[in-house]
Structure 1
Amino acid sequence: MEFGICHLNCIALRKEPSDQSEMVSQLLFGETFEVLLAEGDWIQVHLDYDFYEGWVSSKQIKELDGEVYHRISKKSPCFSDEMVTFITNQDDQFQLITLGAVLPEYKKGSFYLDEFHYDFDGEVINGKMPKSNLVRTAYKFLNAPFLWGGRTPFGVDCSGFTQMVYKINGYQLFRDAHQQASQGEVLSFIEECEPGDLAFFDNEEGEIIHAGIILDNNYIIHCHGKVRIDRIDSSGIYNVDTNRHTHKLRVMKQLF
């Protein structure tokens, strides 16, 4: 196998080839990858969107031939803009998909995943959206529980949240917070920020460990226990429930 695609709602991307290994990220429906290595029932993959690498179970992915893979990869992706919805295949079987699922070769309410035809009756996002749409998407994740490695409204981590908000709106962010912090232009003051800009936070060793999306009026939406809204100031994130700072501000970035 050289190329593949995720044909389930989401599957675990693991650090090592084992069900007991740490989940470092997730593949969502319609996301494609190249195969690096095979080991038993596991394959090591290189994801096309963010170049992340990890191990997935071969039972949970679908192989693509080179021609189909390259055809899908060259097209501007369409994403589901529905929190949770169903797609149906040619056998009238239902399948769950969540916000940000990729709809390969989507056209007028239907799409194909290799030889399989699916119908989709929902809102679709395609291409680069206005910056204001980032906040709209971010609010859709509000109260999603924290899940290490997660990228869906059923469970998401801080950088999975920021990545998915940007991805759905047509902009590429790397997977981890420290990688995302290398992108974009530095903003010196909170007053320079616009809704949709990114803020990053570090630990005592100076390592960037957290990310969030800036809102109007010195608020920030981020994932800490759950996706929540707190205050942000020059020191960092001020938790509105505990009345204390929880994250130390390192840098603010504007991608566009």
Structure 2
Amino acid sequence: MPDRPEPRLDPRLHAYREDLADARLAGRVEARRWSEGRPAQVAAGIVALHRRPEPAAPLDSQLLSGETLRVFETRAGWSWVQNEADGYTGYCRSACLSAEVRAPTHRVVALSTPVFPEPTIKAPSSERLSFWGSLAAVGERGRFLERAEGGWIFAGHLAETGWREPDRIATAERFLGLPYIWGGRSGLGVDCSGLIQLSFAAAGRAVPRDSDQQAASEAVGRALPLDAVPERGDLVFWKGHVALALGEGAVLNATAFPLMTVIEPLAKLHARACQDSPDGVVALRRPE
């Protein structure tokens, strides 16, 4: 019996193209050149991760300050990278990265926080850091911490890196009313799976980036029968969408329908999802 071909690797989680690929994939994919990659760190607040090295290319995800990456190629102001936090690959502006990787000391625990050029709220701010972004503090003055890359952050919006919020629902509720952004995973706006990923991250659990990956991942929780009644804290998946069950027939989700994060009846969301895909609910998971 002939060998079955290996399933195609997910290009969202594996860096490979016809001309160049991650050297760790040698023997699994074909490429003309290989790259060991070099370490780098996100040195800006919220960085777009595009599908192609073009400003108008689709936004697939976002990188947050302090996240560490592997850079496989840099060309014409763009870098092809893989985020070590969730394995996601894509293209970002090279100017937003630092070759120096610093161990973070603090995380942002406000939804977003401004970076001030001086340790005063009266100084003009042109950059924001997102919830769950991190930084290395190198100085302190009054109520502000100085960031290694430069700039001052209000200390009340930060916590030491060991900080956790075990209540995933409480974290998700903080995003209510924020805009839905395709590819968003920041305190300025999220998509459905970005909201889930950040809520789990704050509780100390790493989960995949996209909803189909989350639906298939035991890191999210144990699978339930599709006809089970969702309980508070369960995750309900449709094709291309995920929502957090609140119990009593309600769910919390970031949705493109009102273009924001909302609480709504599960039955209403289910009917809307079935209009897009007749499969209905494709997975239910219960975090332990």
- Shorter-chain TM-score: what band? 0.7 to 0.9
Aligned equivalents of 1:49, 1:171: Cα separation in 2: 11
Aligned equivalents of 1:52, 1:20: Cα separation in 2: 19
Corresponding residue for residue 84 of structure 1: 112
Unpaired stretches in structure 2, ≥5 consecutive residues: 1-36, 275-279
Corresponding residue for residue 157 of structure 1: 191
Superposed displacement of residue 192, structure 1:
5.9
Residue aligned with 1:64, SS? coil
TM-score, normalization by structure 2: 0.69
Q: Quick one: which amino acid aligns to residue 238 of structure 1? A: K
Superposed displacement of residue 152, structure 1:
2.1
Return closer, same or farther for 1:201/1:91 CA change in 2, 3 Å cut-off.
same
Superposed displacement of residue 180, structure 1:
0.8
* 108-117 or 118-127, larger mean C-alpha shift: 108-117
Superposed displacement of residue 40, structure 1:
2.2
Residue aligned with 1:5, SS? strand
How far does the alpha carbon of each residue in 1:13-65 deviate from its partner, in whole angstroms, 9 at most, with x for none? 01111112111111112222111122221111110110101111112222225
* 27-36 or 93-102, larger mean C-alpha shift: 93-102
Unpaired stretches in structure 1, ≥5 consecutive residues: 203-208
Q: Which has the higher contact order (CA 8 A, sep 6+)?
A: 1
Contact 1:128–1:171, Cα closer than 8 Å, also in 2: no
Corresponding residue for residue 234 of structure 2: 197
Residue aligned with 2:57, SS? coil
Return closer, same or farther for 1:127/1:83 CA change in 2, 3 Å cut-off.
closer
Return closer, same or farther for 1:18/1:111 CA change in 2, 3 Å cut-off.
same
Contact 2:119–2:144, Cα closer than 8 Å, also in 1: no
Superposed displacement of residue 113, structure 1:
5.5
Corresponding residue for residue 179 of structure 1: 213
Aligned equivalents of 1:62, 1:128: Cα separation in 2: 27
Q: How does 1:83-232 map to 2 (within 5 A)?
A: 83-88=111-116, 94=125, 95-104=127-136, 114=148, 116=150, 118-124=152-158, 126-130=162-166, 133-183=167-217, 184-188=221-225, 190-191=228-229, 193=231, 195-202=232-239, 209-225=240-256, 226-232=260-266
Q: Quick one: which amino acid aligns to residue 84 of structure 1? A: S
TM-score, normalization by structure 1: 0.77
Corresponding residue for residue 251 of structure 1: 283
Q: Quick one: which amino acid aligns to residue 265 of structure 2? A: R
Aligned equivalents of 2:281, 2:46: Cα separation in 1: 32
Return closer, same or farther for 1:78/1:221 CA change in 2, 3 Å cut-off.
farther
Residue aligned with 1:227, SS? strand
State percent identity of aligned pairs: 23
Task: Decide which structure has the larger Cα Rg and report it.
Answer: 2
Return closer, same or farther for 1:64/1:197 CA change in 2, 3 Å cut-off.
farther
Aligned equivalents of 2:157, 2:149: Cα separation in 1: 23
Return closer, same or farther for 1:190/1:103 CA change in 2, 3 Å cut-off.
farther
Superposed displacement of residue 110, structure 1:
6.9
Alignment pair present for 1:8 and 2:44: yes
Aligned equivalents of 1:254, 1:111: Cα separation in 2: 39
Aligned equivalents of 1:245, 1:20: Cα separation in 2: 29
Contact 1:148–1:156, Cα closer than 8 Å, also in 2: yes
How far does the alpha carbon of each residue in 1:120-153 deviate from its partner, in whole angstroms, 9 at most, with x for none? 42254635543xx211111111122221111124
Contact 2:224–2:286, Cα closer than 8 Å, also in 1: yes
Residue aligned with 2:74, SS? strand
Residue among 29, 32, 37 paired with 2:65: 29
Contact 1:190–1:218, Cα closer than 8 Å, also in 2: no
Return closer, same or farther for 1:197/1:80 CA change in 2, 3 Å cut-off.
farther
Contact 1:87–1:121, Cα closer than 8 Å, also in 2: no
Return closer, same or farther for 1:88/1:27 CA change in 2, 3 Å cut-off.
same
Which structure shows the bigger proportion of residues in strand conformation?
Answer: 1
